[in-house]
Chains A and B, each alone.
Chain A
Amino acid sequence: MNEKAVKKNILKNPSFQAILTSLICIIIGLLIGYIVLLLINPAGAGEAIKTIILNFLSRSSSAAQMKALGNTMAKTAPLLMCALSICFCYKVGLFNIGAAGQYEAGACFGLYAALAWHMPWFICLIIAAIAGAVIGAISGALKAYRNVNEVISGIMLNWIMLYLTNMMLNKVKDPTSPYTIKISSANKGALIPMAGLNTLFANNKTVTLAVPLAILFAILIWVILSKTKFGYELKATGYNKEAAMYAGMKEKQNIIVTLAIGGALAGVGAAFLFLTGYQEWSTTQTSVPGMGFNGIAATFLGGLHPIGTIFASFFIQSITDGGALIDKSVYPSQISDLISSLIIYLCGFVLFFKHIINNAVSKRDTGGPNVNDVPVEPAADKDDKKEGGDK
């Protein structure tokens, strides 16, 4: 390539662009959140937005800070798994909005295995993964053989799984509350081991192996997608099913496998939450857990990159937790959810900002002074790009 290409504007660098757009989204999201706080009660707004951003850092003692950070980490792990599920499928051209349902399946069977069958934690994890994979595979099979949009079948399965989970876990629920029995009292062996991690976070017992495992999964997904034959096939199928068939790939099978893997990731995500004892499943809940949907935001905020989703998941979980710390005497209790959902919503604008940056860069380039030096030779490319866009 010629020198010009090397000297290219840093704004054109895709990784830099991804990070920049994510930051812009975060800033705008926080700004809007701040405005909302101002509208409700101008006096406490500054303090409140500070609390949201700082989250655990707003605690007074360092031990309390570490404990709060531990909580955020513990909830980041399942969110990251859901984000990975969506990210993986998205790279293969599928929009796995059914991650929430696969997450429910993971919770359902993971908890059932722990509480009814008294299985050790790793067996519960595997069962949760299989449950998620089966639900994912249902969407995949419908897509592959009957061309049913995975979004439609995914959303429907989200609701089916919600009530199936409520029904199943009703058998292992605490007789005095709508929640499932605490694992710590029923089957200690089903708790994911802490492996000493709790000591780092002021003995926060919810910080377990789940955290490093989730990060490991992110790296694994990245490697699979970008370095392996398997990833090559899956992405080829996602980009162009017909070409994949032409190249002799089993394109139908690939679609099912992709959604099954996505389902397994989301299922493990549920196990990463419920098998830490962080919280119990409420068998009376009537809405699909937000984890699967927040995963969508984390995926986009993470620039559709498995590694990026690690940081995006942590950020989203952090502001959600931070929101919960807002002074409830000044603001209504829903404010924390409102602010964090606003920011999460803005995260969906990543691609929009990317588009704006690209437009700005190309405009500046066309007006640039040195264009005459550039060889005319690759004219062919641009011309055709336009034609391609028409289709």
Chain B
Amino acid sequence: MDTPYAIEMVNITKRFPGIIANDNITLQRKKGEIHALLGENGAGKSTLMSVLFGLYQAEEGVIKKDGKEVTISDPNDANDLGIGMVHQHFKLVQCFTVLENIILGVETTKSGVLQMEEARAKVMALSEKYGLQVDPDAKIEDITVGMQQRTEILKMLYRDNEILIFDEPTAVLTPQEIDELMAIMKSLAAEGKSILFISHKLNEIMEVADRVSVLRRGKYIGTVEVKNTTKEELSRMMVGRDVQMVVDKEAAKPGETILKVENMTIASKLHSNNAVKNVSFEVREGEIVCIAGIDGNGQTEMVYGLAGFEPLVEGKITLCGEDMTKSSIRHRSTHGMSHIPEDRHKHGLVLDYPLEYNMVLQRYFEPAFTSGAGFLKRKDIREYSERLEGEFDVRSGQGPITIARSMSGGNQQKAIIAREIDRDHKLLIAVQPTRGLDVGAIEGVHRHLINERDNGRAVLLVSLELEEVMNVPDRILVMYEGEIVGELDPKKTTVEELGLYMAGAKRNVTVDANTSEIEESEVIDVVRGGKEETK
């Protein structure tokens, strides 16, 4: 051990009842390096980091800092050792300001009175040094996810942490915010901080990391230098088999129009402007249409309008020739609309229900699952759930009776996809269906979407992932500030062109006179700061 490692985890084993989450894992990180930890959902990444951060105690193995063995029994110990973590789900007090959140727990006081000005000066200095733009007086609930994350990073820096853990930091960010974060991470590493970057996104790891360690099903697979490896090799290490990186599909054979949206306008809950403005498009059977755009440009509201969660201010929705503008959610769902929701925990699943009950969430009332007297046919529900689990490879601890909350994110998503695809439908709305999934699972989801299309269904995909937008759909509609600003053919366009549309710098669809002229300076402004406002 000649190289002085900043932090080492040696032969860590962590068991949970019935499973070994971490099996003899060794992780060594140098000073000033960005070390990526790669693994599928449930590979044991989060557990390992929780051990390092003191949330869990390992049964075996030791943690060393600068070559000296240390014990970390709670997050305070970790803090004292200079270990900081940005959690996947931020730990911020919603009704506090950015500054208050940063100093929370380490407040400077003079005879009991908070010394905010000192803290402010230090925070602003750090903010400037690392390019972490925040508004110290804004409340957390009012700022974008990106700024919340910068607040979390500042929290670590404010505590003079040397070892920074980022747990899947890009899952919630827009492409531009991801670029900013990558730059910030690099500048932090250049300052001598050692960074552990947990991710399953290969592109990001290739771009930013120096070395990468791979976990698979709780086992340590290996550590490689990023410059000596390829995406294909990494994905093989992570999944344990070859993964198809490019989506394989035939040309679309679109047929009749299934979904027709005319002049749809939906009010926003956040501001007085409409979230969706005068949007019209069609989805035909046998094609995948993708709504692309930066998060917060009206996609969520548009889907809410289509699914019946929100009323339309104006416009008309026609599904299979039937006017659905004012139909109930149930009516839409039983008359041809399947919906894989954006937020699987909020809408997609009843987390405290067993898997079998979630599998029939959209169908429980059908005669197949409920008798005439109103009793659930529990045996039929169980058989149905078992069949779907088998067909869609939904893995869970105890099969149909597994509580949905205890399943991994990937398998929760697979369960939703199974439920929505298996029932009778003409249109499938899939909103960010691969969010938070690993490479292997993403491949599976894409295959299902394309199968749907080939089976003559109309698929409306809403995605923020550029790779997905470029590979999966047959047509791309770009949304910007609630309007559809462009229609692109994925085979003929480039990521750069798509980016320009997404940033509102270009449009090819006829627009109202008052918005058609966008000045150069506005465009730049929009690219840089616009996402803050549109949120």
Contact = CB atoms under 8 A, between A and B. Distances in A.
Given A228-B375, A232-B364, A381 B407 contact: yes
Contacts of A383: 21, 41-47, 408
Contacts of A365: 17-18
Interface of A: 1, 4-5, 227-230, 232-233, 235-236, 239-240, 242-249, 362, 365-366, 371-372, 374-388, 390-391
B487 interface: no
A387 B43 contact: no
Given A381-B396, A384-B41, A371 B408 contact: no
Contacts of B407: 380-381, 384
Given A232-B376, A380-B411, A243 B19 contact: no
Interface of B: 15-21, 23, 41-47, 50, 55-56, 59, 87-89, 217-219, 307, 309, 328-331, 333-334, 339, 341, 345-353, 357, 361-362, 364-365, 370, 374-376, 378, 395-399, 402, 405-411
Contacts, number: 159
A388 B330 CA distance: 29
Residues of A contacting B: mostly: helix
B405 A388 contact: yes
30 contacts: A227-B375, A228-B375, A236-B350, A245-B347, A246-B329, A246-B361, A248-B329, A248-B334, A366-B16, A372-B20, A374-B19, A376-B217, A376-B218, A376-B219, A379-B21, A379-B217, A380-B41, A380-B395, A381-B42, A383-B41, A383-B42, A383-B47, A385-B405, A386-B55, A387-B88, A387-B89, A388-B351, A388-B405, A390-B87, A391-B345
A377 B19 CA distance: 8
B379 to A, nearest CB: 12
Given A1-B398, A247-B361, A229 B330 contact: no
B395 A371 contact: no
Contacts of A5: 398
Nearest to A383: B42
Contact of A377 (B217, B334, B364, B402): B217
Contact of A228 (B16, B87, B374): B374
Contacts of B21: 379, 382-383
B397 A381 contact: yes
A193 B470 CA distance: 76
A60 to B, nearest CB: 50
Contacts of A232: 357, 364, 376
Given A229-B375, A235-B353, A380 B410 contact: yes
A121 B219 CA distance: 70
A381 B408 contact: yes
Contacts of B352: 239-240
A374 B406 contact: no
A230 B23 CA distance: 46
Contacts of A388: 351, 405-406
B376 A227 contact: yes
B350 A239 contact: yes
A48 B357 CA distance: 51
Contacts of A387: 46, 88-89, 409
B217 A243 contact: no
Contacts of A378: 18-19, 395-397
